[in-house]
Amino acid sequence: MSDNSQTSTRGNWGTRVGFVLAATGSAIGLGNIWKFPYITGVYGGGAFVLVYLFCVLLIGLPLMIAELMIGRRTQKNPVGAFKALHHEKSIWQMTGWLGIASGFLILSFYSVVAGWAIAYIFKSIVGFSGTTEMIQGQFIELVTSPKSSILWHTVFMGLTIAIVIGGIKKGIERWSKILMPLLFALLLGLMIYGLAFTHGGVQALSFLFKPDFSKLTAEGILSALGHAFFTLSLGMGAMLTYGSYMKRETNLIKDAITVSFLDTLIALMAGVTIFSMVFNYNLEPAAGPGLIFQTLPVLFAQTGPWISVPFFILLSFAALTSSISLLEVVVSYFIDERKWSRMKATLILGGMIYLTGILSAVASWQVMFRGKEQGWLDVFDFVTTNYMLPIGGLLTCIFVAWVMPDKDKVEEFGSRGIMYQGLILLLRFVTPLAVFIVILHGLELLPFMEYK
């Protein structure tokens, strides 16, 4: 076991707030503002939201605590951490490997979508005008033009690489402190506008919070679970890595609750805002990945660039604080275990991820996947979110519950009290069983269910 002497060379968050900001920054991103509303629309609303909330509480929160415990205990990257807590040749290091692969693939398509957000900063400056169809057409134009998609993907990946080369801690702490509260305030303003001043507010609330279980499919349940992992940055060692830069004194339970709460709050606010617009302007809730880019600009055509420019700047920033956590996981392995320099690791891995992302940036490159022709973006998204992250999470949870020594856990948790016993009980039985069942259900393999 390593001790805290490593801490000084690896660097630490400056303050407790520093960790919370960085972890919240990792969690809040495109997952909340782009993905949550769009998949909620696709999977039919309220019932999906309810399952997602259950997953956050019963699976996400305990797992976040588990990842933070491993990270802070070992002060290592995901592969090194499993080795340190078990032994050098431990099979559990595969969990770390799976995480690094997930981070690699997620970042490749994440950067493409974040690129769209940056493109929309510039579209906002010009302003949106014309009919709803014309405004929506701008999005189609962007995604079907490989030249622009690749250009913006290049810009975003370049920014991510530059920040990770600089070492993530100083920059993130400073900027997050200013920009995250601004994003919150702007979203709050837009939500209040949607609720109070449009005709869509009431309908949005009932769409999101009145569950209609007849609309819930096996795939919907699997996606709700996958999304809980995605939005909380779990299942691939990102929280583990951020936890490894955490100081001992802080209370990791409180921090995990804060991060999960803020993340969920932002997602729900984004959902209310976007569906108010969808219902107000009679748009299609199940429009898919283009949803925010095709609905908010219809509103922005009336409000003008004063609202839309800041909105897309803040969205891009939120994406950036998430993408650096994805790249940091991949890079920290090569720095810690292979002794590469930060510069070399970031440039090589970042470059490979960038190239892989081009597959997702070119919408016309399609493959047969689950019975239909789909772009690479959707394929990578589906496989990582719905299978790789839940499997990574399942393994992490089993490891902490059954393999990690009791002494290590208790010391990280801070006590052996009732809360600790409850957490271990969840991690031993409830969380792994729930994840396992949902994965089987998603594969339509549960024996007692009837699948069409």
Residues that bind ligand TRP in the complex, under the rule CB under 6 A: 26-27, 29-32, 106, 230-231, 233, 236, 238, 322, 325-326, 389
Phi and psi torsions of 374, nearest 5°: -140, 155
Residue 406 CB neighbour total at 10 angstroms: 9
* Tokens describing residue 262: 């803020």
The least distance separating ligand TRP from the CB of residue 31, rounded to whole angstroms, comes to: 2
The least distance separating ligand TRP from the CB of residue 331, rounded to whole angstroms, comes to: 13
Q: Which is nearer to ligand TRP, 204 or 236 (CB)?
A: 236
Q: Which is nearer to ligand TRP, 238 or 401 (CB)?
A: 238
The least distance separating ligand TRP from the CB of residue 270, rounded to whole angstroms, comes to: 11
**Residue among 46, 20, 40, 66 nearest 412 (CA):** 66
The least distance separating ligand TRP from the CB of residue 332, rounded to whole angstroms, comes to: 13
Q: Which is nearer to ligand TRP, 106 or 438 (CB)?
A: 106
Residue 245 CA: distances (Å) to CA of 201, 214, 413: 42, 45, 16
Alpha-carbon span 270 to 208, nearest angstrom: 11
Q: Which helix (H) or strand (E) holds 338?
A: none
* Tokens describing residue 52: 């997602």
Q: Which is nearer to ligand TRP, 399 or 413 (CB)?
A: 399
The least distance separating ligand TRP from the CB of residue 171, rounded to whole angstroms, comes to: 16
* Tokens describing residue 128: 């949106």
CA 427, 333, 115, 156 dihedral sign is positive
Scan for tokens 């892989």, then name that residue.
356
The least distance separating ligand TRP from the CB of residue 107, rounded to whole angstroms, comes to: 8
256 and 347 Cβ atoms separated by less than 8 Å: no
Alpha-carbon span 284 to 207, nearest angstrom: 13
Residue of minimal CB distance from ligand TRP? 31
Q: Which is nearer to ligand TRP, 263 or 336 (CB)?
A: 263
The least distance separating ligand TRP from the CB of residue 425, rounded to whole angstroms, comes to: 26
The least distance separating ligand TRP from the CB of residue 147, rounded to whole angstroms, comes to: 26
47 and 212 Cβ atoms separated by less than 8 Å: yes
Q: Which is nearer to ligand TRP, 61 or 424 (CB)?
A: 61
355 and 142 Cβ atoms separated by less than 8 Å: no
**Residue among 345, 128, 355, 95 nearest 236 (CA):** 95
Phi and psi torsions of 29, nearest 5°: -170, -150
Measure CA of the first residue to CA of the last residue in the chain; give whole Å: 51
Q: Which is nearer to ligand TRP, 283 or 395 (CB)?
A: 395
Q: Which is nearer to ligand TRP, 30 or 183 (CB)?
A: 30
**Residue among 205, 226, 215, 18 nearest 106 (CA):** 226
Q: Which is nearer to ligand TRP, 100 or 389 (CB)?
A: 389
Alpha-carbon span 238 to 389, nearest angstrom: 11
The least distance separating ligand TRP from the CB of residue 32, rounded to whole angstroms, comes to: 5
156 and 326 Cβ atoms separated by less than 8 Å: no
